[in-house]
Amino acid sequence: MAKQLTYADPASREMVKRAAAEDIETVWDRYEAMQPQCGFGTLGICCRICAMGPCRIDPFGGGPQTGICGANADTIAARNIARMIAGGAAAHSDHGRDIVHTLMMAAEDPKSDYQIKEEKKLKTTARTYGIETNGRQNSEVARDLAKAALEEFGRQTGDMTMPSRTPKARQALWRELGIMPRAIDREVVELMHRTTMGVDNDFRNIMKEGLRTAIADGWGGSMIATEFSDILFGSPNPLRSKANLGVLSKDQVNILVHGHEPTLSDVMAAVSRDKRLIERAEEKGAKGINIAGICCTANEILMRRGIPLAGNFLQQELALITGAVELMVVDVQCLMPALASVSRCFHTKLVTTSPKAKMPGVEHIEFHEDAAVRIATEILENAIDNFPNRNGKRVHIPKDTEQLVAGFTPESVFNILGGTYRGTYRPLNDAIIAGRLRGAAGVIGCSNPNVEYEEAHIKMVKELIKNDTIVVTTGCNAISCAKHGLLKPEAAFEHAGKGLQEVCGAVGIPPILHVGSCVDNSRILMTLTNIVSEGGLGDDISDLPVAGAAPEWMSEKAVAIGFYMVASGVYTTIGHPLPMMGSRNLHTYLTEGIEQEVGGKWAFELDPVEAAHKMLRHIDSKRRALKLKPLIYEQAFTPGE
Amino acid sequence: MMRRVYCDTRKCLSCSTCEIACALRHSPGDDLVQTLQGGFDAVPLVRVRQGPLGPVFLRCHHCEDAACIDACKTGAMFRDPETGKVLIEQRKCVGCWMCVMVCPFGAVFPVESSGTAMKCDLCDGYDAPACVAACPTGALHFEEFEDFETRYRAQIPVGAWCTEQGT
C-alpha cells in the first residue's frame, strides 16, 4: 500500500500520490519494505568491527552479554556511536577543506573563477589566526589564511586555532577535560583507531574522544566551511525568496543543484545568467534558465543569491517525479542512489561531479575548481539541450510555493538589531534579560521516513515560538519551515507569543531565522558566543537559556552536530534516540552524566510538542539560575515548578 | 500433543537470522557463502514481517484442520500419521499453487526453480528446527502449545541492559 503523507506540505503530498499512480518507488516505499528493521542494529548492540564477529548482545539477557572479544554492550554501542561521529565530522570537515583549497586557488591565481568577495570576513577570520591584515593585499592575506586553515587539518603539535573563538570559560573546561581538539584529521583518525578491535574498551573514554572529534568539526571543519564560503561567495544578508516544488518552471529549462558544496552551486548559479546560455535556451524553445536547489547546497545559494529552494532531503525524488527537470547536478552528501533510477523514468539527466561521489551508470562530469566556469557551462549546456526532450504530457509541477526570508548570520541579523553602523547583540540580550524573550532554540536537521514527514519539525518550532522562544534554523528543517510559511515576518503575528511578536515587529524579522546550511550550524555556535560576550547572560554557553533540537534526524552528520552542541554546553534533543539504547550505561551517561562534565546533554523525545516542552523547561531553569526577570507575557506552556 | 514452533514476539528483534538458517537448512549448499556462490536456491520457509503491533513470525502452523491438504489435488500435501506434521511429497506436486492460495497464513511458497510448493516441514529428519536453534534471543521455541502458553505468561526481563562492570 503506497504511503500517504498526512502532515507534509501539499506539494509533497501531491507528488507522493503521483509517484504511486505512476508506480515509481520512493524512499517511503523502500522504508515500508525494510520493515521490520533489525533490533540489534537499532539498539546499537551489533558489532561488525572484526572478523571474529559479527557479534550481537542479547538485550534480554539470555544469550551472550559480550562479543567474542569480551566487549560488552557499553563498549559496542559507544564504538558504534563514535564511528558515526567520525563519519559526520569527516563529511563536514572534508567539505571545509575543499573550500579552503578553493580560497588558496583564488589567492594565488588572479584569473581564477573564484574571487574574494567578502573582505570583511577575510579580515575577521585572519584575525582569529593572528594573521596581519594592515596594509596588505587581500590575496596575500588570503594565502596566509588558507595555509593556516589547512594546518588545522593536519598539524601534529599543539591545538587547533578556531576553537579559540569559544568563551574563555569553555576553552578552560575543554582543556581541563582533555577534549580541546588538536587537529581535524587527527581526531577522526584517532577515533577510528580507538574504536577498532582491541583498543578503547571504556565507553566514557570513547565518548570523550567522540566529543573532541565533534568539537574539531563544529569549531573546526564546519566553521571553516562557513567562514571561507562567506569569504569566497559573500557573507549573507537578509533577502527574500521562495520555497517548494512550485518553483520549477513549466517553460524554462529547470536545473536542480543538489548536494553540499557552494564551490559548485554558486558557480552554476552565476553561469546560468550568461546571455549566451539564455539565448541557447531560447533557441531550444525555453523561456529561460531556472536554477533551484535541493538540500544544503540549496541553502548556500539561497542565503547568498536568493535562489529558490525546490525541496529538502525527502523531496529529492519527488522533484524529479514532476517530470520537469532537465538536469540534476550533484556533488556530495545526502544523495540517494535511487536518484539514478527515478531520473531514468523521465527525460531527466543526472550528473555526478565529485570524484568522491559516483553512481553506477550515471554520467560523470568531473568538476574541477580550476576550470569551474567552463565545466559549469558544459553542464548547463547539457541541461539546455535536454529541454526539447521534455514530455509535456508527463509534466506535473505542483503549484505550491511559499515566500520566505533568509540570510541571517551572526553578523547580519545583529547589524539589523544594532543599526547600520554597528552590529550589536545588546537588544537581543536585553530582550532575554527583561523577559520579553524566554530564550532561543536551534531547530535543525534532516528529514527521515521513520517519522511522519515534517510533523515534528513544524509542531516543535510552532510550540517554541508560541512560547516566546526565538528559533534559528538550518538545513532541511529550515526548508520545511520555509515550505510551511514560517520564515515570513508575518508568521510572527500568526504563531508567535506576544513577547516574540514585539521583537519581530520592532526589528522586522521572522520569528524563525534561517541561518544557512548544515555546516552553518557553526553560525549558531558563533551567535551563542557573541551573546555570552555581550554580557548579562553568564560566562559560558552552558549558562544561556537556549536549547537545540534535530527532531527528524537521519545522517551521521547530525550525530556529529549534536555532539558538538552538547560539548559546547547546549541541551540537545532528538526524536528517535541515538542507536545505543542497548546500553543502559551509555544511555544514562549521554542523557545525565555528561552534563556534569560539559554542561550540555542529550535528550530523546519522539513527541515534538513534549520535546519542545523539555527544551522550555531547560530554558526556564537557565533563566532561574541567571536570576533573570520573570517573563513579561503569560506563556502558553508554564511548567509547575 | 504435537510440538510446533512458537515465537515470543516480545523477544523478537527482527534480525531475520531464522530466515537465513531455514533457507540454508533447506538448500543443497553447506554454508551461507557456498549457497550464495553456488547459485543454489535458498528459500526461507519462515518469514519475519511487520505487523500492526510489532514483528510477526510467519510460518506453517501444521494445522489440525489443514486447508492446504484439502486443496491439494494430487495428494502431495499430506499429514504424517506418526508425527502429525503436514508435509509435501515433492515428486507428487504439480505446482498448481492451490495450497499457496488457500493457506490463511501465507506459509506455503511457490518455488520457481523446482516448480513445486515448499513450506516449513519442522525440519523433518533433523533433531530440531534450524530457526529455533539460530534465534539469538531465544524468541523461538519448539514445544507443545500449553508449554508455550505458560512460558508466554511468564515475565521476561525488561529492558536491554547490561549491569555496570566493577561497581
pLDDT in tens, A25-42: 999 999 999 999 999 999
Look-up of cell digits 574539531: A216
Q: Report the gap between the CA of A202 and the closest CA in chain B (Å).
A: 10
Comparing B36 with A45, the larger pLDDT belongs to: A45
Look up residue A194 and give its three cell numbers: 580507538
* Nearest alpha-carbon partner for A82 in A249, A243, A196, A240: A196
**Mean pLDDT value of segment A360-375:** 97
What are the start-end ranges of the E strands in A332-411?
349-352, 363-364, 402-406
Instruction: For residues B165 and A96, give the distance between their C-alpha atoms in angstroms, rounded to a whole number.
Output: 41
Q: What is the number of alpha carbons within 13 Å of residue A583 lying toward its C-beta?
A: 31
**Mean pLDDT value of segment A390-413:** 95
Non-local (6+) Cβ contacts of B34 within 8 A are: B40
Which helix (H) or strand (E) covers residue A522, if one does?
Answer: helix A521-534
DSSP state of A305: H
Look up residue B161 and give its three cell numbers: 541492559
Look-up of cell digits 501444521: B62
pLDDT at position B164 over 90: no
**Mean pLDDT value of segment B74-102:** 96
Give me the helices (H) in A34-183, please: 39-43, 73-108, 119-128, 138-154, 168-177
Look-up of cell digits 564546519: A222
Cβ–Cβ contacts within 10 Å for residue A300, how many?
31
Instruction: For residues A527 and A424, give the distance between their C-alpha atoms in angstroms, rounded to a whole number.
Output: 11
pLDDT at position A619 over 60: yes
The sheet with strand A309-311 has its strands ordered as: A363-364, A349-352, A327-330, A253-258, A289-294, A309-311, A239-243, A402-406
User: Between A32, A35, A60, which is nearest B137 by CB?
Assistant: A60
Query: With left for phi above 0 and alpha for psi between -120 and 50, is residue A292 left, alpha or beta?
Result: beta
| CB-based contact, A62 to chain B, within 8 Å | yes
Q: Report the gap between the CA of B138 and the closest CA in chain A (Å).
A: 7
**Mean pLDDT value of segment A375-394:** 98
Q: Report the gap between the CA of A582 and the closest CA in chain B (Å).
A: 5
Give SS3 for A214: helix
| CB-based contact, A338 to chain B, within 8 Å | no
Do B160 and A60 count as a contact with CB atoms less than 8 A apart? yes
DSSP secondary structure letters along A252-285: SEEEEEESS-HHHHHHHHHHTT-HHHHHHHHHTT
The CA-based dihedral angle spanning residues A259, A478, A128, A134, taken in that order and rounded to the nearest 10 degrees: 90
Instruction: For residues A565 and A521, give the distance between their C-alpha atoms in angstroms, rounded to a whole number.
Output: 9
For chain B, how many residues are written?
167
Per-residue model confidence (pLDDT) at position A66: 97
Cβ–Cβ contacts within 10 Å for residue A284, how many?
17
Q: What is the number of alpha carbons within 13 Å of residue A504 lying toward its C-beta?
A: 28
Do B13 and A38 count as a contact with CB atoms less than 8 A apart? yes
| CB-based contact, A359 to chain B, within 8 Å | no
| CB-based contact, A233 to chain B, within 8 Å | no
pLDDT at position A139 over 90: yes
Do A43 and B11 count as a contact with CB atoms less than 8 A apart? no
**Mean pLDDT value of segment B75-95:** 96
Instruction: For residues A340 and A349, give the distance between their C-alpha atoms in angstroms, rounded to a whole number.
Output: 9
pLDDT tens digits, A557-604:
999 999 999 999 999 999 999 999 999 999 999 999 999 999 999 999
Per-residue model confidence (pLDDT) at position A421: 61
Give the range among A501-510, A512-521, B69-78 with minimum mean pLDDT.
Answer: A501-510
Look up residue A512 and give its three cell numbers: 524563525
A contact test, residue of B7, B13, B14 with most A CBs within 10 A: B13
B contact test, residue of A56, A58, A68, A591 with most B CBs within 10 A: A58
- Cα dihedral across residues B40, B45, B51, B53: positive or negative: negative
Contacts of B12 in chain A (CB under 8 A): 39
pLDDT at position A225 over 80: yes
Look up residue B24 and give its three cell numbers: 540454508
Per-residue model confidence (pLDDT) at position A514: 98
Could you give phi then psi for residue A255, rounded to 5 degrees? -125, 125
Instruction: For residues A285 and A419, give the distance between their C-alpha atoms in angstroms, rounded to a whole number.
Output: 47
**Burial letters A37-64, b for 16+ CB under 10 A, else e:** ebbbbbbbbbbebeeebebbbbbbbeee
Which helix (H) or strand (E) covers residue A512, if one does?
Answer: strand A512-516
Give SS3 for A212: helix
Contacts of B164 in chain A (CB under 8 A): 74, 585
Whether A497 contacts A462, CB under 8 Å: no
Do B15 and A38 count as a contact with CB atoms less than 8 A apart? yes
pLDDT tens digits, A149-196:
999 999 999 999 999 999 999 999 999 999 999 999 999 999 999 999
pLDDT tens digits, A448-474:
999 999 999 999 999 999 999 999 999
**Mean pLDDT value of segment A132-140:** 97
User: Between A38, A39, A584, which is nearest B159 by CB?
Assistant: A584
Residue B161's pLDDT band (cuts 50, 70, 90): very low
Measured between CA atoms, the residue of chain A closest to residue B167 is A585
Share of residues in chain A with pLDDT > 90 (%): 95
Query: With left for phi above 0 and alpha for psi between -120 and 50, is residue A45 left, alpha or beta?
Result: alpha
Instruction: For residues A380 and B146, give the distance between their C-alpha atoms in angstroms, rounded to a whole number.
Output: 71
Instruction: For residues A330 and A344, give the distance between their C-alpha atoms in angstroms, rounded to a whole number.
Output: 16
Supply the mean pLDDT for chain A: 96
Instruction: For residues A400 and A420, give the distance between their C-alpha atoms in angstroms, rounded to a whole number.
Output: 35
For chain A, how many residues are written?
641
Residue A3's pLDDT band (cuts 50, 70, 90): confident
Per-residue model confidence (pLDDT) at position A41: 96
* Nearest alpha-carbon partner for B17 in B60, B57, B65: B57
Per-residue model confidence (pLDDT) at position A422: 64
Look up residue A396 and give its three cell numbers: 506535473
Measured between CA atoms, the residue of chain B closest to residue A31 is B50
Measured between CA atoms, the residue of chain A closest to residue B134 is A63
| CB-based contact, A72 to chain B, within 8 Å | yes
Do B16 and A35 count as a contact with CB atoms less than 8 A apart? no
Non-local (6+) Cβ contacts of A428 within 8 A are: A414, A417, A437, A531, A534
Per-residue model confidence (pLDDT) at position B156: 63
Contacts of B154 in chain A (CB under 8 A): none
Look-up of cell digits 537499532: A42
Number of inter-chain CB pairs under 8 A, A vs B: 72
Comparing B37 with A365, the larger pLDDT belongs to: A365
Supply the mean pLDDT for chain B: 89
pTM equals 0.95
Per-residue model confidence (pLDDT) at position A507: 87
Nearest 5 degrees, angle CA A8-CA A493-CA A536?
A: 105
pLDDT tens digits, A6-26:
999 999 999 999 999 999 999
Do B50 and A35 count as a contact with CB atoms less than 8 A apart? yes
| CB-based contact, B50 to chain A, within 8 Å | yes
Q: Report the gap between the CA of A86 and the closest CA in chain B (Å).
A: 25
Q: Report the gap between the CA of B85 and the closest CA in chain A (Å).
A: 29
The sheet with strand A469-474 has its strands ordered as: A512-516, A469-474, A439-443, A546-550, A571-574, A602-604
Instruction: For residues B30 and A420, give the distance between their C-alpha atoms in angstroms, rounded to a whole number.
Output: 77
